[in-house]
Amino acid sequence: MGYIKSAALEETGYVVLDRYNQELDPQEWLDLEYVDWKSSGDTRFAPLASKDGEIECGGFWSGKTPRTDKDGIWIPSQVEKAPNLVRRAQEPGANVGRCRIIELQPNTYADCLYNLHQDDNNRLNPDGTGWVVRGFFNLTDDKDSFFVLRDNRTDPSVEYRIALPAGAQLIVDTQRLWHAATHPGKDPRYCLITSWTSGPELDAYIEKYNGRTHVPNYEVSQEILEAGQAEQTRRLAARAAALAARGQADQTVMSEA
C-alpha cells in the first residue's frame, strides 16, 4: 500500500517555505526548560510536545504506549511560555508528533559532516498512513549558519546547503536525507523542530507558503568543502576502527535531532 507522502518533497526531499517575520515575536524559547540531550553535536532540547507529555526526549517507539512519531502530548508548563511557537507548530493542521526547540552550540562544517544522520521518524508507522517529516523553523538570526542535506552521507556530489537566518522555514524528509547544521559563531543556535504527518493539510501549508524544492546553495569556499570532507572521512574511519576494536557495528541512524 505504501505511505502517504507529499509530492512537493518527492524530488529533493525538502522544501523551503517563505521566510517568517521572526522579529515580530518575543524570544519565547529563552524561557523554556531545557534538558541535556546530545544529538548531532553539543545540544540541549526544550520539548513542547513529547511522547508522554513530560519534559524528556525519548523516542516515541520506546516505553509504554510505543508508537511512531505522531500524537505528541503538549506539555502545559512549556506551552504556556511559548504560545507563538505552539501556534506556528499547529498552523499546518497536520498531526504533530514531537515538537521541540533545539539549542546547538557552535560548530564547524567538518563537525556538521561528521554529525550527518538520518532520523527514525517512521518506526512503527502503520502502512497506508502519512509519512512523518520534520519542520525546521530557525529562531535565532544565524547568518553564517546553514543546514546541510545529502542523499548519501559520505558523497558530496548531492549536497544542499540551506541558509539559516531568523525566520528560515524548511520541511525535510529527515528519514530520507542525511542532515545536520553548520553553525559557526559564538552563540547557540535555536530552532523549532516539529514532526508532522504528511497529508492534505501539510500539502496545503506547503503550497500556501510557496514551498520551493530548489534554493541556491549557501556559498562555501572549495577549500572549506574539501577540508570538511577529508575530516569527515578521517573521523568516520577512526570511529569505525574504534567500534570494530570493541566488536560493535557502526550506528548511523539517530532519531533525536
> Rounded to the nearest 5°, which phi and psi values hold at 125?
-75, 120
Tell whether residue 203 is a contact of Fe ion (CB under 5 A): no
Q: Which residue has the cell 501556534?
A: 87
SS3 state at 25: coil
- The smaller minimum CB distance to Fe ion, of residues 191 and 202, is found at 191
Closest CA relative to residue 86, chosen from 46, 113, 121, 119: 46
CB of 117 to Fe ion, least distance (A): 6
Of 25 and 120, the one with the shorter C-beta distance to Fe ion is 120
User: Of these, 119, 120, 159, 203, which contacts Fe ion (CB under 5 A)?
Assistant: 119
Which residue's CB is nearer to Fe ion, number 39 or number 140?
39
257 binds Fe ion (CB under 5 A): yes
Count, residues near Fe ion per rule CB under 5 A = 3
* Least distance CB 244 / Fe ion (angstroms): 25
Indicate the pairing of strand 96-104 with strand 159-164.
unpaired
Question: For residues 190 and 142, what is the distance between their CA atoms, to the nearest angstrom?
Answer: 9
C-beta nearest to Fe ion: residue: 257
Instruction: Find the shortest distance in angstroms from Cβ 195 to Fe ion.
Output: 10
- The residue (of 25 and 119) whose beta carbon lies closer to Fe ion is 119
Closest CB to Fe ion among 58 and 227?
Answer: 58
Our finding on whether 69 is near Fe ion (CB under 5 A) is: no
Question: DSSP class of residue 37?
Answer: -
Contacts with Fe ion, 156-175, as mask; x by CB under 5 A: ------------------x-
DSSP H or E stretch at residue 222: helix 222-245
Beta carbons of 45 and 102 less than 8 angstroms apart: yes
Q: Which of 59, 62, 57 is nearest to 46 (CA)?
A: 57
